Structure 1
Amino acid sequence: MAVSAGTVMPAAADTDPRGYLKIMKAQEMWKVADGTGITVAVIDSGVKLVPGLRSESVLPGVSFMEPPLEHPDQKYPPHEDFVGHGTTMTAAIVGDGSAGRPQGLAPGAKVLPIRTSVGTPMAFAVASEAAKGLRYAADNGAKVINLSLGMTSDWPMDKIKPAVEYAQSKGALVFAAMGNEGEGSNWTNAIAALPGVIGVGAVDINGEPMPFTSSGPDTDLSSFGSKVPIRCKENTAWCVADGGTSYATSLASASAALVWSAHPDWTANQVARVLIQTAGAPVDGSKRNDWVGYGVVRPRMALLERAGDPGAPDTDPLAAPAPAQTPTPTPSTDQTAAVPTASADAESGLSWQWPALGAVVAVSLGLGITVIVKRRRR
C-alpha cells in the first residue's frame, strides 16, 4: 500500500495543489453541468462536516458500522469519521473550495454518506456493511456509488455480489478503487472484478500511472491520485499527500455525476460508455492497458466537446472482450508525484490494515487505499 506522510495544507488559495481541476477545465464544465440533480453515495468511513464541506451538499445518510463486542449498544452516526477517509472522498466530490480548502469536481451534486467500519479494528465487518450500504444507496436515490475501499479475493463475495447486482438493477453506476499495492503485486479489488463495476486506477498530473496503483484486467478508467488535499491528524486538519486510487475513484464518480447531470435521461450504461469513449488514451498508445484501463477520465469531452456516443441504454459497455495488456509504466518525470511504496510507508508510520479473522480491508488517506484481488469480468 502506498502511503505518504503529507504536509499541512496552506490556507491560501494560490497554493492550492489541485492542478487537475484546471487541466480538466472544471470552471468551464460547471457552466454546462455541475452535478446538480445527481446523488453520489460514498460508502466509506463516514463524513465529518468540517470547514470546506457544506451541510446542504451532504445528505443525512446512514451508518451500518458494527459496534464493538464489548459495547453492543454503541451508536455511530453517519456524520462522524474516525479516520477522515470518507470525509476526504466527499470533499473531492462536493467540497466548496472556501479559503483554499478542497474544491469538489461536482459541487452541485449531493453526497449520501454510508458509514462502515473502514479503517477501524472492526473492519472485518465491512463486507456485510458495504453490502447493506449498496442496497440502501440504490433504494435512496443514488445514481452513482463510490467504493474507495476494497476486499481481497478470499473475502466472501456472497453478500457483495448480489448487492452490487441489486444496485445496478436500480440503475446505479458503481465505481471501485483498484488498490495501491503497486507493480508486481497480485492485489487488486475483488469488487472491481464484478460485472459492470468500473475499476479505477491512479495517475499523476502527466497522466502516467502512479507507481503504487494496482493493475490488472479489471482496470477500466483512471484519474488523478497524486498530491491532493486529504484529512489528516485524526481528521482535524487538511494536509497534502498522495490520494491514491481512493481519490481517483472519487474523481471518476464525480465525473459521472457531471455527465449524468447534463444528460439526466441517460442510463448508467450510457454514462459509463461515454466516459470510456472520451477517456484520454494510455500514453503507451494502446486502446487500453492494465494500468490505466481505457484512459484518464475526461468529462469535459462530453460536456464541452459533445463527444461520445451513449449507445444502447441496456448494454454494458464493458461486456465486450478487450485486450489485456500490462506494459511497464513509464516513470513519472514529476519527482514529487512518484513516491516509492517502501519509503512512503516508512515516512508515515501508519497502517490502515487491520488483521481480523484472517482477512484485510484497507483504506489509506493520502494515503491511497484499498486492499484487493481481481479477475476479469468479461
Structure 2
Amino acid sequence: MAGAEPRRLRRLTAVTLAIAGLIVLPGFTVTPSPSPSDPDPLRAAEYWLDDYGIRDAWKTSTGSGVRIAVIDTGIGKGPVEFSGVVGGTDVSGLGSPDGRTPVGARDPDHGSWVASLAASRGTSPVTGMLGVAPDAQLLSISVGFGVSASVPFAEQIAQAIYWAVDNGADIINLSFTTNTPDWDRSWDDAFMYAFEHDVVVVAAAGNRGSGTGVVGAPATIPGVLVVGGVDPHGRASREASTQGITIAVAAPSENLLGVSADGKVVEWDGTSGAAPIVAGIAALVRSAYPDMDADDVINRIIRTATPPAGVTDLPDPLYGYGLVDAEAAVTASVPAVRENPLGSLAEWITIYRRANLVPDPEPTVPPAAVEPLPPVEQQAAASPLLPSTESLLYGTVPLAAGTVAAILVALGVTAAVRRVRLAPRAPRR
C-alpha cells in the first residue's frame, strides 16, 4: 500500500448486484481464488478483497481453525453463506436459544451483515459473497439493543462475552457504541475474562453521521482493537466513521455488502462493517500462526498497517496506525511483544476503579492538535451519502435501568444503512 490510498486501489465501476440462476451446493469446501478479478459481479463488488491485500493473504491463510464470536442482533439461519456458524445463544430474552433469530424492530439483519463481512462462505466455490476469513467458524450471540429487552444492556454484553469465551471464541466482534467514554463496571470483569483467555476483541469506532462525534465504549476500553472507517479511496469517512485517540486501525466503511438473514444482499455503510473486516484479518493471522497470542496478533495488525500520506504522528485520531494490510499482517516479519500495544485494562482498573476515581479517557489537548473531519452537512431528503431518517431514528436508544447513567446504545450509529439494494436470489436446492 502506498501513500494515502489502499494497495492496488481500483475503483469499481457500477456493478449490478442482480444475480440470477445461482445454484447452491451445500457442503462445498471454500476455495477462494487469489485472482484479482471475479466473473461473479457480487464478488467483484467486494473491492476490499483486492485493495487491502485480502486475496493475497488467502494464499497463506483463509481462517481455518479460528472461531469469531459476533455479539449483535443474531446471524440468520437460512443462508448457505452462514454455514460456518457452529454455535450460538441469546442473552436478551428476545431471541431463540441458538442465537439465530434476528432480534430488534429495526435493522434486525445487522448481525447477519456483520457476520458476512467477517466469514461468509459464498453460495458456491465461485459465486456469492465471501467474507475476509471464509473458512473461519462463527458464533452467533443475539443481543437486544432496545428497551424491550428483559435484561439490561450492559448485563447482556457481559454475559455474551463470558459465553463467547467459554465456547471457544478466538476473536470477539462488537459492532456497536454506547456514545459515552465510560462503561458499566460489569464490563471490567467481562473484558478482563476475554483478555485473560487470550481473545482478540475488536470494536467499531462509531459514525459521525449518526451522532458519534468521538469514540465511546466499548471502543474506549484499553486493549480493544478499535476500527475507524475510510471511503473506497482510503480517506477518512465523513459520516461512516468518527475520531478518537483509541482508534487503532482503519478499514473500509463505505459501499460495503452484507448478506441478510433471508439471504438477500444489501449495500450498507458504517464502522459496524469496518470492524468485522478487521476481525476477519485477525482470524487470518491466528490461522496462519496458531501459537501466536492475542497481543502479538493485535501488534501484527497495527504494525503492518499503512499510514496515509502526510500522517506521521501515530496513532492518528482518524486512522490509528493506518490502513489495514491483510497480506502484510500474515506474511511480514514483526517482532514479538510482551504486552498488548493498545493498553492494559487491568492497569486501568487498578488506577481508576480501585482508587475510586473517574478517569478522563480523552486528555485535554489544544483544539488544533486533532484535525476534525469536515462538518456533516444537513441531510437532504434524497441524499445517497448520509444516513436515512429511519437510520437516524434508530441511532440511539436509552439503556435499560440499572446501567451507567446517560449511556446510549447506538446500534444504528455504527450501521448507517444507505439506499439498501436487494439482490434477488434463486431458490436454494
Please confirm whether the aligned pair reaches a TM-score higher than 0.5, indicating the same fold. Answer: yes
Q: Which residue of 2 aligns with 1:345?
A: 388
Q: Which residue of 2 aligns with 1:374?
A: none
Tell me, yes or no, if the aligned pair for 1:62 and 1:77 is still in contact at 8 Å: yes
Distance of aligned partners of 1:236 and 1:32 in 2 relative to their CA distance in 1, 3 Å threshold: closer
1:294 equivalent in alignment to 2:321: yes
Tell me, yes or no, if the aligned pair for 1:247 and 1:368 is still in contact at 8 Å: no
1:260 is displaced (CA, Å) by 1.0
The answer for unaligned runs of 5 or more in structure 2 is: 1-14, 21-39, 345-362, 376-382, 401-405, 418-429
Q: Which residue of 2 aligns with 1:221?
A: 249
- Equivalent residues in 2 for 1:39-54, closer than 5 Å: 39-54=67-82
Q: Which amino acid aligns with 2:102?
A: D
Give me the whole-angstrom Cα distance separating, in 2, the residues matched to 1:156 and 1:34: 34
1:33 equivalent in alignment to 2:61: yes
Deviations 1:333-360 (A, max 9, x none): xxxxx9654xx33486752533455642
Q: Which residue of 1 aligns with 2:5?
A: none
Give me the whole-angstrom Cα distance separating, in 2, the residues matched to 1:362 and 1:347: 13
**Residues matched between the structures, number:** 343
Give me the whole-angstrom Cα distance separating, in 2, the residues matched to 1:154 and 1:32: 38
Tell me, yes or no, if the aligned pair for 1:52 and 1:102 is still in contact at 8 Å: no
* Secondary structure in 2 matching 1:149: coil
Give the root-mean-square deviation of aligned CA atoms: 3.2
**Rg larger in 1 or in 2?**
2
1:197 is displaced (CA, Å) by 0.7
1:175 equivalent in alignment to 2:202: yes
- The one of 67, 80, 83 aligned to 2:101: 80
1:40 is displaced (CA, Å) by 0.8
- The one of 301, 312, 334 aligned to 1:275: 301
- The one of 258, 261, 269 aligned to 2:284: 258
Give me the whole-angstrom Cα distance separating, in 2, the residues matched to 1:340 and 1:78: 32
- Using structure 1 for the length normalisation, give the TM-score: 0.80
Distance of aligned partners of 1:255 and 1:218 in 2 relative to their CA distance in 1, 3 Å threshold: same
Deviations 1:80-122 (A, max 9, x none): 1141111111111111233753210001111111111136743
Q: Which amino acid aligns with 2:116?
A: A
Tell me, yes or no, if the aligned pair for 2:181 and 2:220 is still in contact at 8 Å: no
Structure showing greater relative contact order (alpha-carbon pairs closer than 8 Å, 6 or more residues apart) = 1
Q: Which amino acid aligns with 2:228?
A: G
* Secondary structure in 1 matching 2:250: strand
Q: Which residue of 2 aligns with 1:376?
A: none
Give me the whole-angstrom Cα distance separating, in 1, the residues matched to 2:327 and 2:179: 34
1:135 is displaced (CA, Å) by 1.1
- Equivalent residues in 2 for 1:179-194, closer than 5 Å: 179-182=206-209, 186-194=213-221
Distance of aligned partners of 1:135 and 1:262 in 2 relative to their CA distance in 1, 3 Å threshold: same
Q: Which amino acid aligns with 1:351?
A: Y
1:94 equivalent in alignment to 2:119: yes
Give me the whole-angstrom Cα distance separating, in 1, the residues matched to 2:211 and 2:309: 20
Distance of aligned partners of 1:27 and 1:156 in 2 relative to their CA distance in 1, 3 Å threshold: closer
Give me the whole-angstrom Cα distance separating, in 2, the residues matched to 1:346 and 1:103: 30
1:249 is displaced (CA, Å) by 0.4
Tell me, yes or no, if the aligned pair for 1:173 and 1:197 is still in contact at 8 Å: yes
Q: Which amino acid aligns with 1:89?
A: V
Q: Which residue of 1 aligns with 2:9?
A: none
- The one of 358, 365, 370 aligned to 1:326: 370
Q: Which amino acid aligns with 1:354?
A: V
Tell me, yes or no, if the aligned pair for 2:179 and 2:212 is still in contact at 8 Å: no
1:62 equivalent in alignment to 2:106: no
1:8 is displaced (CA, Å) by 9.2
Q: Which residue of 2 aligns with 1:71?
A: none
Give me the whole-angstrom Cα distance separating, in 2, the residues matched to 1:106 and 1:349: 31
Give the share of equivalent positions with the same residue, in percent.
27
1:204 is displaced (CA, Å) by 1.2
Tell me, yes or no, if the aligned pair for 2:210 and 2:392 is still in contact at 8 Å: no
The answer for unaligned runs of 5 or more in structure 1 is: 1-6, 68-73, 332-337, 370-378
Distance of aligned partners of 1:66 and 1:154 in 2 relative to their CA distance in 1, 3 Å threshold: farther
Give me the whole-angstrom Cα distance separating, in 1, the residues matched to 2:412 and 2:123: 25
* Secondary structure in 2 matching 1:167: helix
Tell me, yes or no, if the aligned pair for 1:176 and 1:198 is still in contact at 8 Å: yes
1:33 is displaced (CA, Å) by 0.5
Give me the whole-angstrom Cα distance separating, in 1, the residues matched to 2:320 and 2:310: 12
* Secondary structure in 1 matching 2:86: coil
Give me the whole-angstrom Cα distance separating, in 2, the residues matched to 1:366 and 1:179: 5
* Secondary structure in 2 matching 1:248: helix
1:173 is displaced (CA, Å) by 0.9
